Structure formats: C-alpha cells, structure tokens
Amino acid sequence: MARDRTNPISVILVSSGSRGNKLLFRYPFQCKTKQQTASTGRRNRFAIVSGGEVEEQEGDCSESCLLTDEHLVSGFSDTILATILAPKSELCGKKFELKVDDVRFVGHATLLQHENSSQACKADPSPKREVPTMILFNVVFALRAHADPSLIGYVHTLSRRLALALRREEWRCQYLTREAKVMLAAQDEMGAHDGESPFQDVLPKSKLARDLKEIYDNLCSTGLVQLYINNWLEVSFCLPHKVHKVESGHVSPESISRSLRNIRPYHALLLLGECKSLLSELPPDVSPALSRLIKITTPMKTLQQLALDSDLALAQVCQLASHLVYWGKANIIFPLCESNVYMLSSTADTYVYSANAENFSQQFPGHDLPSMLAEFSLPTPLVEHRNPLANPDQQAQLVHMVVWLLQRRLLIQLHTYVCLMVPDADESDATSGTVCRPPVFLECGLSTQEARATSVPNTLPVGSPSSGDDLTLASPVTEVTSAEASSAEFGLGGEDSPVGAGAYENPLSVLTEHERRCILAVPAAQNQDDLRLFTRLLPYFCGRQHLEDVMYHENVRRSQLLTLLDKFRGVLAIRTHEDPALPALHCLPS
Amino acid sequence: MKQPPQSESPQDEVPEDYLSRELFDMVHVYIITKPELQNKLITVTALDKKLVGCPVCIEHKKYSRNALLFNLGMVCDAKTKTCSLEPLVKKLAGYLKTLELENGFVSNESSKQQLPKLMEVLLKEINESGKCTLPIDNSNTINLKVIEHRRTPATVQEYEVPVFTQCWDYDASQWDLTTQQILPCIDGFRHLRKISDEADVELNLVRIAVQNLLYYGVVAIVPIFQYSNVYCATPRLQLLAEDASLQDECLTYITKPGYRKATLRAAFLLYSSLSPGTTVRDLCCRHAPHLQHIDERKLVQFGLMKGFIRRLHKIPLKLPAEGRGKISRWFNGCHCYDEICCKKGLSYKELEEKTEHDPGIIIFWK
C-alpha cells in the first residue's frame, strides 16, 4: 500500500531553557545503529541522492516511499533538530514553518511565562515546587515538502491546540517540566546502550510521549485526534484530508466548507454510518441535543422537520448538522423523495469485485452492486426505479439501497436549472443573443425576500416541505401585489414589483425592450395567471437556483412549475446537472 | 539578498539594510548553520519575510577558524511561493563554492567587492524577466532562470485526443524533433494512435511529446469524437450564460466558416440537450435547424475544453457466473469502449455487436 502523502513523517517535541535546547521526544524513532548521519563527508557526486526527488509518478514502488520518509527525517540528528526547531523567543506565538530540502517542519513555538510560579515563589518563602527552567517549547510536525499545501494550515492548528493545552497544564501543575524530566532521564540512561532507541524506553514512562505517539498514529490512519492532556484537558482535531476519505476518490476541505455555507432548511442529513455506532463514538460529555438529533435523523426528513420533531431550534439543528458534516459523520443532501433524479457518479468504482461490491452483497443478499449501478446509469426519477408489482418490503429495500449508495458517494443527484434566454432580435443581426443578468436578480430578489422573512440574520426562512412534489411554506413569504398583469405593466418600470417589496424595481425593468417583447410574444403570455407567475419567478431564471429551491421559496408545486416552463420554453434554456452548491457530495478522482 | 560569511552579521545586502538587525538575529541560526545542514535548501519564514538560502561550508587550514561558511540567499515576501527560486539558490551556492575552491573568489578581499554589484544585477534581472546572466570574470559566467513549477499531468492514453488551447504561433525551432514532426497532426480530432500512424512516430514517443505539451499548457486533452458519443452538462455551463467574452469566443469557434454567426440561445440549447441517453447523432437529428450554421464537432470540442460538458463513457461489465468465477479481461468494469476499441482494434459497431448479443453483459455510463 503506497504511503499517503498527507501523512506526517514525524512528530517532534523540543524545548529550550536554561540548559539549552533539547529534543525531548520524537516519533517514529529509529534504532541508533540504523540512524544515518547527515550529508557530511565526501559523497560520490555522481550518486543519485535518494530522499531528494520526492515528486515521483504514481505507481512507483511503495517501498522506496517508505525508505524515503525514514531517510528524510532520520538524516537529522537529535541535536540538530533541537537547534533548528526551538527558535528564538521572538518567533514564538505564531506559526513556525521551516523547510529543509524535502521536509517541512510545522509547529507553533510557545513561550512559558513564569508569572504564576514566580508569584507563588514570592508569596511562599520556602517554595515547595521546584522552579521550572523551561523557557519555550515547540510541538513540531514534519511533513513532506511536496504534500498538499492546505495540509500546513491544519497541522499548524493542531500544533497550536496542543501548545495551548500543554502551557495550561504547565502553569497549573508543571506538567511539561515533569514530563520533560522523565524524557531526558530516559535518554541519558539509554545513551550507553546500543541497538535500541532511547525513546522506546520513554513510552511506558511518560503519558505525554504516549499521547504524541497516538496523535501521530491517528493522523496517519483516521485523521481524528481526540485525547486528554494529563488526563485533564481535551484536545480534539480532525484532518479533513483523511476524515472525508472516500473509496475511489477524495473530497477536498474546500468542498466541505462550501457545502456547510450552503445549508438550507429544506436539506436533509444523511448519516454516513450506522446510528448506533455513531452514538457509541461520541465523547461522554456530548450535548444531549446532538444525541437526540442523531437518533431521530433520517434522510427523508428535512432539517426543518427534524427541528420540529426534536423540539430544537432550526438554527441549532443546522449547527449540529454542520458539526457532524465537519467531522465526517454525515453529509448534507436533498431529502429522499420520489421525484429525485439520481445518476451514477463519474468516480464510482465499477470494478466487478470492488470492496463496495462485496459489502453490498452482504448487506442486500440477492442483489449485486453492478446491476444496481447500471440501473442508475441513465438518470430517471426515483419513482421509475420502483417495481409497481413489488411488495412493500421490496419497496423499502430500494430506499435502503439508494441510501447506501448515497453514503458512499456512488450516486449524484441531478437538479434542473433554468436560464432566461430569448431568441435573437433580428435574423440577420450578427450580434450574439442576449446576456443573462443573474447578479442583479440574485442580489435584489432573494436577499430582499430573505430579509423580509427573517428578523435574526442567522435564521432561515420558515417552511415545512413535506414531499418533493409539494414544498409548501407555512407562511407564504411573497405575495403578488401588482395590479392586473397586463402587457402595459411590462412597459413601465419602477412600479409595484410582483414580489411586493418596494426595495427593488420591477424585475422586468432590468430586461431589455427586446426581451420583454419576446416574453409577451409567447402565446401563454396572453393568460394573466401564467404571465403573473412567470414574472414572479423571473428572478430565479438566472441559472443559479434549481427547481426545488424555487418551489421552496415561492410556494409553487412542481407540476405548476413544469407546466409554466413548458409554456415559456421559447424564451428559456433548461439544463440538468449536479448541484454546485453542495460539492461535498461529489468526490474528485484521487 | 545578503551574504554573510564567517562573522555573524550580514556582510552584503542588496538593497542595503533591507533586513532589519532584529530579523537577522532571529534567523541567523538557519543561515549560517551547523555543518549538518550545509548544502541543504533552507526556507524560513519570520516577520512577514521568507528567506531561501543554501549554506555552504568549506574547510581548509588557510581560513581563520579553519573553515569558510557563507550563504547567498533570497528574501521575499512571506506569502510568495518560493519553490521556483530554490533551484536558483542551489545553483548559485554550487557556483560560488566552485569559484571559491578554484580562485578563492569569495574569501579574497578584492574579488569580494564584486559581489554586491553582482547581487544587484541578479535582483534586478530576476525580478524583471525571470532570467539573468552574471559575468564573473573572463572565463566564468553564471546563467540563471526561474522555472515555473507546474503540476505533473496525468498519463495520456492512446485513445485520447490533444487539442491546442489557443491559436499558437509557434516557432518550430523551439521544439524538439519529435514534437516538430507531430505538431501538424494535432488537429483536435486525431487521437494518439492515429497521430502515431500518420506522423510515423512510435506511440510512446508521441505520448511523451504530447505530455510535454500538456505540461506547458500548449494542448489540452479531450476524448475522441464519435457520433455515438454521449455527453452531459456540468455546472460550469453557467459560465457561458454569464460571461460575455466567453460567449463571443464560443460563438466564433463553433460557427461554420462562411455562415452567419451562431446565436447564444442555439449554442446553449445544444449544450443543454446533451444528456445521458442522447448521442451526438440524436442531437443532430433533433436540432437540425440550429446545426445548419454550427459545426457540432467544434461545439463538442469547445464544450469539453471549457468544461461545459463532460463525456460519459460506456463501460461494459460481464457478470461472472455463480460465485467468483473467472472474470473477463476487458469486460471487468474498468475499461471503457474507447479503450477496448483502441487496444483490440475493433470499431464501435463491432464491439457493440459483441456486447448486445451477450445477455450477461451490463453497461455503465459514467
């Protein structure tokens, strides 16, 4: 198995004090005999420097990667690491980043101010505690220089959190000084022996050493760090590059944050694992609201409905949901309903004996994954996958299978987007067709609506969508307050807007004369109701909002909407693709 | 840039006093380093500045303290990406070491005076044009160039097609012989194997040449065009609706020469109509009027290059008989029609006949 580039090479703890710079602990450690000294002495100038070029092609021998890693950091002796990783005090309190050839060291050097202990000494003439001599310390992670640059920020965050916790404990009970003493004593003892690394001996004696080892191991495997420094202060951290790992690809940290920004009340929460196992993973001091939410959550219900069912505020539910997504325990999807259209994801592994295939057959005996995936090759609404002659159990099983596929990002959901695009003005006119003006619509239209609907900036418009077909709003946000929707109205700008808010002009006023004429030329425009509805929905026809969004905000049934789109198809351009607002649902190929 | 020799203070700085004493004190341990770190590229960030250097140590009895340590480094803004400067620093360190070993260039009092001037030239020319020529003396000149660091592209398959990203006005003499031979064959429709046949160049050499062009962004890779292909729209299609210059570029590209310029609505409609289940042939039938003045091949090509549409590959899978039976080499769910046709020398029709008549084969589109 090829070594992951996002794995740290090593974790190192150094300190600087009255007795100079010391390397307290490093992991992984090598046997002393195997330790290679750095490039001192003569070397054949024609020899290929191993450990130099790390930018190898995929498919290279994984063994060489492993050797390279050890080589990379084992080349640095303890003393040299202590010198370079314990910086001057002026460089403390901020991100520490040092690159030496192919290794990047990232840390957060922290000063230990002796205020508390010196005050205690003054108060008590006979000091019971010994005066600490450590001035600063640094928890440093060694990464490969060519690793993903976004990794640096995250690793630095971890280093900083550890530094804060350690400093706290040092002030409280000199935890760090005690641990440092143990570590250095073990190193001195083992100094005489050959063959075994002194750090091997430190592990059973020092809790901090064991913690650092655990952090390293976890960063390399699950990407989740959750431990208690000195059995007291919690440090928790998750590395998005590992936590959101998918079978056949990866999800970038940016897609996660983007998806979190775009949560809406009509979205649903999809747990990525079993409910029971998730509950057992939660720490003991978890908020009861979170456990309640996890117990009642189902991909068929919207966050809005979950809020009502669990008796929590919508904002809180959204926050808890974001938390679960951030930690890789859940994903935000559009709730499962009959009209959803799913398609096979382009990164899905279709190999006949893929790992997913085995799991699927175990989970759903009698079915095989390839056949199921092939069914979704051509996107059709979920209702058409149902066999009308099947019994209710089989119907339910279909839903379970779709949920299973969504959890593993094997399916993507397609949405329909509408864009206003009128035909050309003149047949012989060489100019291109009209340009959409989405920014204006979007800025005016929706922000006004949302502002009207809410009083608190963080809350979202209230509504309770029940089924995919009928996303109704409890209290309609918009009203049609304009007078008779006649063709004359179109010509006038600045009148009562169809949306009712005087905050912005009639959306039709931003259209050109030509666009207005084209719209009115459509036969359906003669019908008052149709025209009124069209005008009301015009702000959404900029290609940035899918039909479900329109249905939710405007209290329109799907059938109504589709009929309208059909009638006005002469001036509209309709397309179908995945939702760009939820990139966390799609993975990029690895 | 500065260059501090034995004494722990910057000897020469260009521009003068760019580095504060404070900053230098903080980072001097990374500039004049312990012997273990010599010849390593060291980049340290401090006080909003990034320093890239390569310390050199030469041991010899003739020096006071028996060793000469020096480091010619570059100082940049902390946010700069300095990977492309690293080879420069390394090369300079190597040159200066050689010059010192041969002529005592660095330690000699008189020749040392040249250094600030050289550094000035270096700073100016690198900042202006990214390359620099430093004449040291009658027999020595240092040539330096900043090479932009790019991502290594994925391997190009023999059934994929290179297409020029722009109308390049290339000077043939700038490229190697292989590339010169294949350049005329790159038309956005020929795939690698075809180029190899027509240009009479071995396939792997073509692949290497094309990958080189891909690395420098001269070409992009698109799938083979066939009327049986299926494509689908991506969210990037929204860009076509919003960006006026992109619209212009698109319509100019896809209009058949000699015809009236295509309308945006027509282009958009065509792109939107490309969906799973619809082949390009179907599209042509359904929208014949629009396609009177639009070249569908160019339409698809432009859409692929800009990411408006993506290709849906057809992948056959033969389900094994009961249990873990033997799986077919080509029909194991990992190879698309393009690959199978190319590698087995079959036409699309021939492969289609094989798969249609076998009930055990299922088809994926992804």
Q: Do A40 and B35 touch (CB under 8 A)?
A: yes
Which pLDDT belongs to residue B299? Answer: 92
Q: Are A129 and A120 in contact (CB under 8 A)?
A: yes
pLDDT tens for each residue of B204-231: 999 999 999 999 888 999 988 999 999 9
Q: Are B220 and B214 in contact (CB under 8 A)?
A: yes
Q: For tokens 């002659």, name the residue.
A: A389
Which pLDDT belongs to residue A504? Answer: 37
Q: Are A111 and A92 in contact (CB under 8 A)?
A: yes
Which pLDDT belongs to residue B205? Answer: 93
Q: How far apart are CA B364 and CA B314, in angstroms?
A: 6
Q: Do B365 and A344 touch (CB under 8 A)?
A: yes
Higher per-residue confidence, A486 vs B264:
B264
Q: What integer is the mean pLDDT of A234-239?
A: 90
In which band, very low, low, confident or very high, does the pLDDT at B13 lie, cut at 50, 70 and 90? low
Which pLDDT belongs to residue A130? Answer: 52
- What are residue A89's DSSP bridge partners? none
Q: How far apart are CA A108 and CA A95, in angstroms?
A: 5
Which alpha helices (DSSP H) does A465-504 contain, by range?
Answer: 487-491
Q: What integer is the mean pLDDT of B277-288?
A: 91
Contacts of A295 by beta carbon, 8 Å cutoff, 6+ apart: A275, A279
3-state secondary structure of A446: helix
User: Average pLDDT of chain B?
Assistant: 85
- What are residue B50's DSSP bridge partners? B45, B76
* Interfacial B residues in 37-56 facing A (CB < 8 Å): 37-46
Facing residue for B36 by CB, picked from A80, A343, A424? A80
Q: How far apart are CA A138 and CA A111, in angstroms?
A: 9
Q: Do A577 and B232 touch (CB under 8 A)?
A: yes
Backbone φ, ψ for residue A234 (5° rounding): -85, 135
Q: Are A107 and A96 in contact (CB under 8 A)?
A: yes
Q: For tokens 């015809």, name the residue.
A: B259
**Cα Rg, chain A, nearest whole Å:** 31
Answer whether residue B242 shows pLDDT above 60: yes
Q: How far apart are CA A467 and CA A437, in angstroms?
A: 32
Q: What integer is the mean pLDDT of A3-12?
A: 81
- What are residue A436's DSSP bridge partners? none
Q: Which residues of chain A neighbour B244 with C-beta distances below 8 Å?
A: 435
Least confident of A111-115, A234-238, A400-404, B315-319: A111-115
pLDDT tens for each residue of A263-292: 999 999 999 988 899 898 888 888 899 999
Backbone φ, ψ for residue A126 (5° rounding): -110, 95
How many other β-carbons are positioned within 10 Å of the β-carbon of residue A96?
A: 25
- What are residue A141's DSSP bridge partners? A11, A106
Contacts of A23 by beta carbon, 8 Å cutoff, 6+ apart: A12, A13, A14, A78, A79, A81, A82, A85
Least confident of A371-380, A541-550, B12-21, B61-70: B12-21
pLDDT tens for each residue of A57-75: 333 333 333 445 556 676 7
Q: How far apart are CA A559 and CA B221, in angstroms?
A: 42
Q: Work out whether the CA dihedral A116, A117, A118, A124 comes out positive or negative.
A: positive
Q: How far apart are CA B88 and CA B96, in angstroms?
A: 12
Answer whether residue A439 shows pLDDT above 70: no
Q: Which amino acid is at A242?
A: K
Answer whether residue B84 shows pLDDT above 60: yes
The complex scores an ipTM of 0.81
Q: How far apart are CA A341 and CA A343, in angstroms?
A: 7
Q: How far apart are CA A248 and CA B366, in angstroms?
A: 14
* Structure token pair of residue A422: 């009128």
Q: Is B67 on the interface with A (CB under 8 A)?
A: no
State the DSSP string of A226-291. Answer: EEEETTTEEEEEE-HHHHTEETTEE--HHHHHHHHHT--TT-EEEESS-HHHHHHHS-TT--HHHH
pLDDT tens for each residue of B314-356: 999 988 876 666 778 888 888 999 999 888 888 889 999 988 8
Q: What integer is the mean pLDDT of A241-254?
A: 79
* Interfacial B residues in 305-334 facing A (CB < 8 Å): 310, 312, 315, 317-320, 324, 327, 332-334
Orientation of helix A314-326 relative to helix A303-310, angle to 10°? 120
Query: Percent of chain A having pLDDT more than 90?
Result: 26
Q: How far apart are CA B7 and CA B29, in angstroms?
A: 12
Q: How far apart are CA B198 and CA B191, in angstroms?
A: 11
Q: Do A573 and B275 touch (CB under 8 A)?
A: no
Q: Are A109 and A86 in contact (CB under 8 A)?
A: yes
Q: Is A366 on the interface with B (CB under 8 A)?
A: no
In which band, very low, low, confident or very high, does the pLDDT at B309 lie, cut at 50, 70 and 90? very high
pLDDT tens for each residue of A564-584: 999 998 889 999 999 998 888
How many other β-carbons are positioned within 10 Å of the β-carbon of residue A533?
A: 23
- Three-point CA angle A286, A291, A292, nearest 5°: 135
Question: Which among A36-45, A454-463, A571-580 has the top mean pLDDT?
Answer: A571-580
Which pLDDT belongs to residue A523? Answer: 87
In which band, very low, low, confident or very high, does the pLDDT at B32 lie, cut at 50, 70 and 90? confident
Q: How many alpha carbons lie under 13 Å from residue A270 in its C-beta half-sphere?
A: 20
In which band, very low, low, confident or very high, does the pLDDT at A426 lie, cut at 50, 70 and 90? low
End-to-end CA distance of chain B: 54
Q: Do A370 and B362 touch (CB under 8 A)?
A: yes
3-state secondary structure of A420: strand
Answer whether residue B286 shows pLDDT above 60: yes
Burial A439-475 (b: 16+ CB within 10 A, else e): eebeebbbebbeeebeeeeeebbebebeebeebebee
Length of chain A (residues) = 590
* Interfacial B residues in 230-249 facing A (CB < 8 Å): 232-235, 237-238, 241-242, 244, 247-248
* Interfacial B residues in 261-280 facing A (CB < 8 Å): 261, 263-266, 268-269, 271-272, 275-277
Answer whether residue A461 shows pLDDT above 70: no
Q: Are A255 and A243 in contact (CB under 8 A)?
A: no
State the DSSP string of B313-334. Answer: PEEEEE--STTT-PPPSS-BSS
Which pLDDT belongs to residue A309? Answer: 92
In which band, very low, low, confident or very high, does the pLDDT at B187 lie, cut at 50, 70 and 90? confident
Q: How far apart are CA A25 and CA B300, in angstroms?
A: 59
End-to-end CA distance of chain A: 15
In which band, very low, low, confident or very high, does the pLDDT at A140 lie, cut at 50, 70 and 90? very high
Please count the residue pairs, one from chain A and one from chain B, whose beta carbons lie less than 8 angstroms apart.
165
Q: What is the pTM of this model?
A: 0.78
Burial A23-35 (b: 16+ CB within 10 A, else e): bbbbbbbeeeeee
- From the CA of B233, how many Å to the nearest CA of chain A? 6
Q: How many alpha carbons lie under 13 Å from residue B324 in its C-beta half-sphere?
A: 5
3-state secondary structure of A332: strand
> Rounded to the nearest 10 degrees, how much is the dihedral formed by the CA atoms of A412, A413, A414, A415?
-140
Answer whether residue A467 shows pLDDT above 60: no
Contacts of A335 by beta carbon, 8 Å cutoff, 6+ apart: A266, A267, A268, A299, A300, A301, A302, A465, A468
Which pLDDT belongs to residue A403? Answer: 93
Answer whether residue A126 shows pLDDT above 70: no
Q: Are A84 and A98 in contact (CB under 8 A)?
A: yes
Answer whether residue B146 shows pLDDT above 60: yes
Which alpha helices (DSSP H) does A174-228 contain, by range?
Answer: 175-190, 198-205, 207-220
Answer whether residue A164 shows pLDDT above 70: yes
Nearest to A9 by CA among A94, A74, A69, A75: A69
**Cα Rg, chain B, nearest whole Å:** 30
- From the CA of B42, how many Å to the nearest CA of chain A? 5
List, as own/partner pairs, every contact residues A549-554 make where C-beta atoms lie below 8 angstroms and the sequence separation is at least 24, other chains included: A549/A264, A549/A266, A551/A465, A551/A471, A552/A264, A552/A266, A552/A463, A552/A465, A552/A471, A552/A473, A553/A446, A553/A449, A553/A461, A553/A473, A553/A477, A553/A478, A554/A478
